[in-house]
Amino acid sequence: MKFHNKLTDWYLVNARDLPWRETQDPYPIWLSEIMLQQTRINQGLPYFFKFMEAFPTVFDLAGASEDKVLKLWQGLGYYSRARNLHFTAKYVAHELNGVFPTTYKELKQLKGVGDYTASAIASFCYQEPVAVVDGNVYRVLSRYFGIDTPINSTEGIKEFKSLAEKLLDKKQPHIYNQAIMEFGALQCSPKSPDCDICPLQVDCVAFQQNSITALPRKLKKTKVQERNYNYIVVVDKEGQVLLEKRTGKGIWKNLYQFPLIESTKTCETLEDLISFNDESLPQHILEEASLYNEKPIKHVLSHRKLWVSFWIVEVEKLKLVENLSKSLLMTNQIDTFAVPVVIEKFIDAYGFSE
DNA sequence: AAGTCGGGGAC
DNA sequence: GTCCCAGACTT
């Protein structure tokens, strides 16, 4: 029996019930694929339902503000996905009359749609015979064929894509692509897969060579940098608070935060903090700050470790404070702004009144 | 070719 | 702690 027949047979018995599998409409499929990039289904699922309810069509998504899209995306991470999603929604709605491209080649031109996502949409929606290669596919193929080329090397990417195209069931690419990914997620799992009940066991090179745990191979990534973030929470008795928008390049682009003072070490005292002030806030404001959390909060991202401290400044009336930077905004509706998770956790703990 | 971009869950 | 997740984009 052919490789693809074994997989699709397994899939027809073991497939999970997932909402985007009930349709061939490119809008929900595109949405789900963007959300699931580097994201587990269980984490993405509630966001998929939220977005489909808030934006039932690509026109609804296109008509929303980026702030609202980012707010709904809050907590899912990799926020460039949300910005690109919104950009592409506007493009499809306004330039293409709401009609998505129907080929791999055209789909791949869309912002935020790479090789995997273009293949997924083209095969799921239009039965184009193009093979998806995601983390699941790398794992299944590297083990079954005993390939130890690093999956994140230039050579590995080409080699596995080529192999995947060769194995693709061209008569039903939709089913095959779903099947190999589902197989990788449920049966050929990263750690301790249950090979005893695997239908591919007899032909699996890694199983025969006892190299399941060694595959797939992956080149090591650089280690994480550490940063110290001091957030200055300036509030008044009317429930107003100061926020700033993160512009520029780095993490959390276009999300909001309290005015930030970055320091090269943990600030133990107010004097430490003031010494790192880069005039993001007037000196007389900072002098009233008191440390909220005794020890810095560790917030770990994929490539960064943040040590986060919150400092509270209570003023009588924020609107009367002089010399505030024009880039700062004042609000009593903090819950309407997209913020990083570490800030959302603080907001929940601190308990803003309005 | 290497770096950048989040957050959470499994072990 | 480590690893990985329906990857894409920038440099």
Does nucleic acid strand B have an atom less than 7 angstroms from the CB of A38? yes
> Which residue's CA shows the smallest distance to C1' of C10?
A249
Which amino acid does the sequence have at A143?
A: R
Does nucleic acid strand B have an atom less than 7 angstroms from the CB of A302? yes
Strands A241-245 and A329-331: antiparallel
Q: Which chain A residues 141-180 have CB under 7 A to strand C?
A: 178
Nucleotides in chain B with any atom closer than 7 Å to protein CB:
1-11
Give the domain ranges of chain A.
Answer: 3-214, 225-350
Contact A320, A330 (CB under 8 A): no
**Structure confidence at residue A353 (pLDDT):** 61
Cα dihedral sign for A128, A130, A136, A140?
Answer: positive
Cis bond before residue A216 (omega within 30° of 0): yes
Q: Which nucleotide is nearest to A219 (CA to C1')?
A: B2
Report the distance from CA of residue A152 to the C1' of nucleotide B3 in Å, as an integer.
13
> What is the percent of chain A where pLDDT is above 70?
99
Does nucleic acid strand B have an atom less than 7 angstroms from the CB of A171? no
Does nucleic acid strand C have an atom less than 7 angstroms from the CB of A301? no
Mean pLDDT of A235-256: 96
Choice among A190-199, A253-262, A275-284 with the minimum mean pLDDT: A275-284
**Structure confidence at residue A10 (pLDDT):** 97
For residue A283 the two structure tokens come to: 């000196």
**Structure confidence at residue A166 (pLDDT):** 97
Does nucleic acid strand C have an atom less than 7 angstroms from the CB of A187? no
- Structural element, H or E, at residue A306: strand A304-315
Does nucleic acid strand B have an atom less than 7 angstroms from the CB of A158? no
Q: Which chain A residues 78-97 have CB under 7 A to strand B?
A: 78-80
How high does pLDDT run on average in chain A?
A: 96
Closest to A241 (Cα-Cα) out of A349, A328, A323: A328
DSSP string, A26-63: HHHHHHHHHHTTTS-HHHHHHHHHHHHHH-SSHHHHHH
Q: Which of the listed CATH numbers 3.90.79.10, 1.20.1440.230, 3.30.300.130, 3.40.50.620 matches domain A225-350?
A: 3.90.79.10
Does nucleic acid strand B have an atom less than 7 angstroms from the CB of A40? yes
With 90 as the cut, is the pLDDT of residue A350 above it? yes
- pTM for this predicted structure: 0.97
Q: Which residues are bridge partners to A311 per DSSP? A: A232, A291
Cα dihedral sign for A185, A188, A194, A198?
Answer: positive
Q: How many CB atoms lie within 10 A of CB A31?
A: 22
How many angstroms separate the Cα of A127 from the Cα of each of A115, A124, A326? 16, 6, 53
* Residues ≥6 apart with Cβ < 8 Å to A270: A286, A287, A289, A290, A291
Report the distance from CA of residue A7 to the C1' of nucleotide C5 in Å, as an integer.
21
CATH number of the domain located at residue range(s) A3-214 in this protein? 1.10.340.30
Report the distance from CA of residue A319 to the C1' of nucleotide C7 in Å, as an integer.
45
Does nucleic acid strand B have an atom less than 7 angstroms from the CB of A347? no
> Which residue's CA shows the smallest distance to C1' of B10?
A191
> What is the percent of chain A where pLDDT is above 90?
93
Does nucleic acid strand C have an atom less than 7 angstroms from the CB of A306? no
**Structure confidence at residue A325 (pLDDT):** 86
* Active site members of A: 33
With 80 as the cut, is the pLDDT of residue A222 above it? no
Query: Which one is predicted more confidently, A56 or A279?
Result: A56
With 80 as the cut, is the pLDDT of residue A354 above it? no
Mean pLDDT of A57-65: 98
Q: Which chain A residues 231-270 have CB under 7 A to strand B?
A: 249-253
Give the model confidence (pLDDT) of A110-165 as tens digits. 999 999 999 999 999 999 999 999 999 999 999 999 999 999 999 999 999 999 99
Mean pLDDT of A98-113: 98
- Any idea what DSSP says for residue A123? H
